[in-house]
Chains A and B, each alone.
Chain A
Amino acid sequence: MAGKAAATTNDPRKPGSNPMSQRMPNDAQAHSLQEQAKQAAHELGLVIASKAGDRRAFGLLAQHYQRQCAAVALRLLGNTHDAAELVQDALVKAFKSLDQLQQSERFGPWLMRIVTNLALNYRRSRGRRQALSLEQTLGDSTEGDDLRASVAGSVLDAPDQPAASAELGDAIQIALNGLPEKQRLALVMFAIEKMPQKDVAEVLNCSVEAVKWHVFTARKQLKKSLGNYL
């Protein structure tokens, strides 16, 4: 899943510029498009081979997507270990459910949908476990520290980050956790992980316009929540 499309370099306001150039890609763009098409074709081949039970092909697909999946899972769960486990589960589930993938060329968004669904389920079950744990261990300060680490996401990976940055990271994670589900997912996938809006819309099962709106409202909410840090 590539990042946002690069802005066009053809300026239609330039005197004497060729009107066709607004529609015809220049050499760099053409090369980029060719590369994307080549990559898409290669990926489609891997998906088809995986559907036929080729584990090696699926392994290559997994290697292509696992970092982005882990990054999204980490932003949603706030814990690297949980994120890695969740991505493993998601990839195994994807491999087992490949026959349900209708559009083989949309493997990326489909996989990300599995990741986000698992992450949301995990968060819900973790929330229930923590509520139980809180009731049972009320007053135990050690448990409270563990809970804070887990909820606030202070286990984020950046061992050498300064304390202020770690504090801001915690604040962002808490603010993200407080957002409504779709706003949080839209913000993480689009504004942070730079997934294309079309793919995010597919994962969230909504329109591209709705994705833009979710990102807008989420960022406004974050502005309020992070007021002291900005």
Chain B
Amino acid sequence: MQHDHQHLDFLISQHVDGSLDAAGKKSVEQRLLTDPEARKLYQEHREVQDVLDDWGSRIPMINWEDFDRKLAGRLEKETVGTPAQRTPGWWKPVAAAAALFVAAWGGYAWHAISGNGSQTAVATVARPAAGGGFATASVKIDDNGSAPVASSARFRVDDSPMSLGAPEATASNVSVAAPGDVAASEALRDAVMSGLSHLSNMANIDSKPGSASAMNGFEKPNHASDDAAAPVDRDAVPPLP
């Protein structure tokens, strides 16, 4: 009985709010015609809602011109302090290239100075992708003493990074498939080759820090026959911990 009363009360509340569907509305209206208790409940909800409507009609007396001016000033101040919102769109690729260059140079310097005969290399190669933009492959090569292994590989086409996880491509099996894009696959292969080349030249780097031959340790293997190849970067980093 109590439950029925509360249910009716809730339905009447929704009727006052105008949030009942057509069937619910019709049902409540029929009940209101025949049930004095329902009419009493309706009256109570209506009374409170009318008071709220009247109270709600009072609008805040705010000087909106002042408000807008003050807000514009605060937004300008915020924007001045946020370089990302006022720098043009080209800054990201430029920053990425600069970071890559710094990382490569840092890696080279670290190897040259420490001379610890690292057994890990990371190589990055890029070339035009079939659908436009560039396919970029980045491969980490580990030499565990028996055979060099590509322990992880990442490549991306344009701005869509895709990870291949850890394909475990060995030195003799560098054709790790890059889904749907021959250029990406070639970039990946070249990255692996570049990493292997780097590993094989490490002794040279260590023995002659800072020399021209040491720089060659970061060079990509010869792909002169492949006109489409467009290596834009080569990278080497210190061994991972």
Contacts and interface: CB of A to CB of B under 8 A. Distances in A.
Nearest to A62: B71
Interface stretch (A29-37, A41-49, A221-229): A221-229
Interface in B4-23: 9-10, 13-14, 17-19, 22
Contact of B48 (A55, A92, A95, A226): A226
A169 B59 CA distance: 13
Nearest to A6: B18
Interface string A83-95: 1100110011001
A59 interface: yes
B207 interface: no
A83 B64 CA distance: 13
A44 B118 CA distance: 54
Interface string B52-79: 1101101111101001101110111011
Given A59-B75, A216-B9, A219-B49, A71 B61 contact: no
Contacts of B74: 88, 92
Given A59-B72, A95-B78, A212 B55 contact: no
Contact of A230 (B48, B53, B67, B84): B48
B60 A169 contact: no
A158 B56 CA distance: 11
A116 interface: no
Interface in A160-207: 161, 168-169, 172, 187, 190-194, 197
B71 A212 contact: no
B70 A88 contact: yes
Contact of B55 (A55, A169, A216): A169
Contacts of B52: 172, 187, 191-192, 219, 222
Given A71-B60, A190-B17, A222 B48 contact: yes
B19 to A, nearest CB: 6
Contacts of A169: 55, 58
Contacts of A219: 13, 45, 48-49, 52
A92 B17 contact: no
Contacts of A226: 48, 51
B37 interface: no
Contacts of A222: 48, 52
B56 A192 contact: yes
Nearest to B20: A212
Contacts of A12: 22
A111 interface: no
B84 to A, nearest CB: 8
Interface string B74-108: 11101100101110000000000000000000000
B181 interface: no
Given A4-B18, A92-B78, A71 B72 contact: no
A215 interface: yes
Given A88-B67, A191-B49, A55 B79 contact: yes
A220 B9 CA distance: 10
Interface in A30-89: 53, 55, 58-59, 62-63, 66-67, 70-71, 74-75, 80, 83-84, 87-88
Nearest to A91: B71
A71 B59 CA distance: 6
A-B pairs, 6 with minimum CB distance: A53-B85, A192-B56, A157-B61, A216-B13, A70-B60, A74-B60
Given A55-B72, A191-B52, 17 more contacts: A8-B22, A53-B86, A55-B76, A59-B68, A59-B75, A71-B59, A80-B60, A87-B67, A92-B78, A158-B58, A172-B51, A191-B56, A197-B19, A212-B14, A219-B52, A229-B51, A230-B48
25 contacts: A53-B86, A55-B75, A59-B72, A62-B68, A70-B60, A71-B59, A84-B67, A88-B74, A92-B74, A92-B75, A96-B82, A156-B58, A161-B58, A168-B51, A168-B55, A191-B17, A192-B52, A197-B19, A212-B17, A213-B10, A216-B13, A216-B14, A219-B48, A220-B9, A222-B48
